[in-house]
């Protein structure tokens, strides 16, 4: 059959990183195609997705969390949730999976050259943002200020920990990591690991006066946005995380003066084909698999609220 779009190519797992533990653990799989020519030919952009096959279990769509600036491999961060993801978590290095793609649109990084970028992520929502900021940091001179706000429940739930802790040392990245205020309050945090994380004023976050250079906070992600106060001028904000987090992040960004065309997100939908045929990922006449997953808030505001 010529150029069958449903044909997965065989890829091998080169490395598995345990990002977080627990019932909804996250692992990052580093994979490369068995056929070297396919690996070289797999040209993707930050924001795009790929369909991962675990033969016998099925296929699932994941964002590619690695940056296209790094050649020779792809990375997928997978939370253990359903049939395919749970089975993926059982795999070991050297195991074979299927990959097809890349699919969908990407973040308009070309247009954003010269602009300041603010990344606001929560939980597994950091996965698509990571491809973008790693890409930006590999082309650092093309962009203005880079801020990364990333939150998780506890320090054990932070993904990409070592990478992010390295960013704390970089003068050209403005990092704010945060742990869930609710958990801090209930004393559920690992006291030792969370020692020294700066507690923000949850009632009036804008009044929080953290010492200069503070990178570790306890508080909710939307409130940290108000503490970090990115300036909207010449700035793009990119956010991804649980729907409720996105809702309040957007609200707070608007409070700071961001307009809808300065806010971007990437959507998740149940998908089967990835190429706009199987029908299920539509929001009105837009198909997330091929017209998305990346949308500006201006674009989203025109669509029916079914996502």
Partner 1 sequence: MTSSNKTKQECYVIKKDAVKAFLDSLSDYTLHAPVREDETILFKEIKNTDDIIYDFSNAVKAPKDVVMPQTETMLTITKGGKDSLVVEEPESPDKSVVFGIRPCDAKGIALLDQIFYEDKQDTYYVQRRENTTIIALACNDPHRNCFCTSVGGAPNGKAGCDLLFTDIGDAYFVEVVTSKGKKLITNKKLFKSISEADKKAKNAAHKEATRKLGDALDLKNFPEKLEKMFGEEFWEKYALKCIGCGACAYMCPTCYCFDINDIDYKDVVKRVRTWDSCQFGNYTMHTSGHNPRPNKVNRVRNRVLHKFKYHVDNYNEIKCVGCGRCTTHCPVNMNLKAIIKELAEKEL
Binding letters toward partner 1, positions 86-125, x by CB under 8 A: --------xxx-x---------------------------
Q: Which ranges of the chain does DSSP label H, i.e. alpha helix?
A: 36-41, 83-89, 126-138, 161-167, 181-185, 191-194, 221-228, 243-255, 288-291, 297-301
Q: How many residues bind partner 1 (CB under 8 A)?
A: 44
- For partner 1, which stretch binds (CB under 8 A), given 111-119, 154-162, 198-206, 281-289? 281-289
**Binding of partner 1 by 285 (CB under 8 A):** yes
- For partner 1, which stretch binds (CB under 8 A), given 79-87, 170-178, 189-197, 213-221? 79-87
Contact 262, 273 (CB under 8 A): no
* Residue 249 Cβ vs partner 1, minimum distance, rounded to whole Å: 17
Q: Which of 40, 207, 247, 270 binds partner 1 (CB under 8 A)?
A: 270
**Binding of partner 1 by 72 (CB under 8 A):** no
Q: Which of 18, 21, 35, 58 binds partner 1 (CB under 8 A)?
A: 58
Distance of alpha carbon 62 from alpha carbon 84, whole angstroms: 11
**Binding of partner 1 by 180 (CB under 8 A):** no
Distance of alpha carbon 32 from alpha carbon 48, whole angstroms: 17
Distance of alpha carbon 289 from alpha carbon 22, whole angstroms: 30
**Binding of partner 1 by 38 (CB under 8 A):** no
Q: Which of 110, 186, 191, 306 binds partner 1 (CB under 8 A)?
A: 306
What is the layout of strands, in order, in the sheet containing 96-103?
Answer: 58-63, 49-54, 96-103, 9-20, 26-33, 74-79
Distance of alpha carbon 123 from alpha carbon 151, whole angstroms: 6
**Binding of partner 1 by 248 (CB under 8 A):** no
Q: Is the peptide bond before 293 cis (omega within 30 degrees of 0)?
A: yes
**Binding of partner 1 by 137 (CB under 8 A):** no
Q: Which of 229, 261, 277, 301 binds partner 1 (CB under 8 A)?
A: 277
C-beta closer to partner 1: residue 165 or 248: 248
Cβ count within 10 A of residue 152: 25
- For partner 1, which stretch binds (CB under 8 A), given 55-63, 206-214, 218-226, 254-262? 55-63
Distance of alpha carbon 72 from alpha carbon 33, whole angstroms: 9
Q: Which of 46, 67, 85, 147 binds partner 1 (CB under 8 A)?
A: 85
Q: Which of 273, 294, 297, 300 binds partner 1 (CB under 8 A)?
A: 273
Q: Which of 89, 115, 161, 272 binds partner 1 (CB under 8 A)?
A: 272
Residue 117: name the closest of 264, 13, 255, 250 by CA.
264
Cβ count within 10 A of residue 155: 18
Please return the burial class of 276, using the count of CB atoms within 10 Å of its CB with bins 0-12, 13-18 and 19+.
Answer: middle
Residues that bind partner 1 (CB under 8 A): 1-8, 10, 12, 34, 55-59, 81-82, 85, 94-96, 98, 243, 268-270, 272-273, 275-285, 290, 304, 306-307
């Amino acid at each position: 059959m010529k150029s069958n779009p449903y044909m997965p190519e065989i890829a091998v797992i080169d490395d598995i990183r345990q990002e977080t533990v627990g019932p909804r653990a996250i692992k990052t799989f580093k994979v490369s195609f068995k056929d070297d020519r396919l690996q070289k030919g797999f040209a993707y952009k930050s924001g795009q997705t790929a369909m991962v096959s675990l033969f016998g279990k099925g296929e699932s769509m994941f964002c590619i969390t690695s940056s296209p600036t790094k050649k020779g491999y792809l990375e997928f961060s997978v939370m253990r949730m359903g049939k395919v993801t749970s089975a993926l978590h059982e795999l070991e290095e050297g195991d074979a999976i299927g990959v097809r793609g890349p699919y969908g649109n990407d973040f308009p990084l070309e247009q954003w050259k010269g602009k300041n970028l603010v990344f606001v992520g929560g939980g597994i929502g950091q996965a698509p943002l990571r491809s973008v900021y790693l890409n930006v940091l590999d082309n650092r001179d093309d962009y203005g200020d880079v801020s990364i706000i990333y939150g998780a429940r506890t320090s054990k739930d932070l993904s990409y920990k070592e990478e992010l802790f390295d960013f704390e040392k970089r003068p050209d990245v403005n990092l704010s990591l945060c742990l869930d205020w609710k958990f801090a309050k209930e004393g559920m945090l690992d006291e030792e690991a969370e020692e020294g994380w700066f507690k923000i004023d949850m009632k009036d976050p804008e009044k929080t006066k953290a010492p200069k250079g503070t990178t570790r906070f306890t508080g909710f992600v939307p409130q940290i946005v108000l503490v970090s106060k990115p300036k909207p001028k010449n700035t793009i904000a990119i956010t991804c995380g649980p729907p409720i987090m996105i809702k309040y992040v957007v609200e707070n960004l608007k409070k700071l003066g961001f307009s809808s065309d300065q806010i971007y997100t990437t959507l998740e939908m149940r998908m089967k084909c990835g190429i706009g045929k199987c029908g299920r990922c539509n929001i009105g006449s837009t198909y997330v698999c091929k017209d998305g997953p990346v949308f500006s808030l201006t674009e989203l505001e025109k669509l029916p609220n079914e996502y």
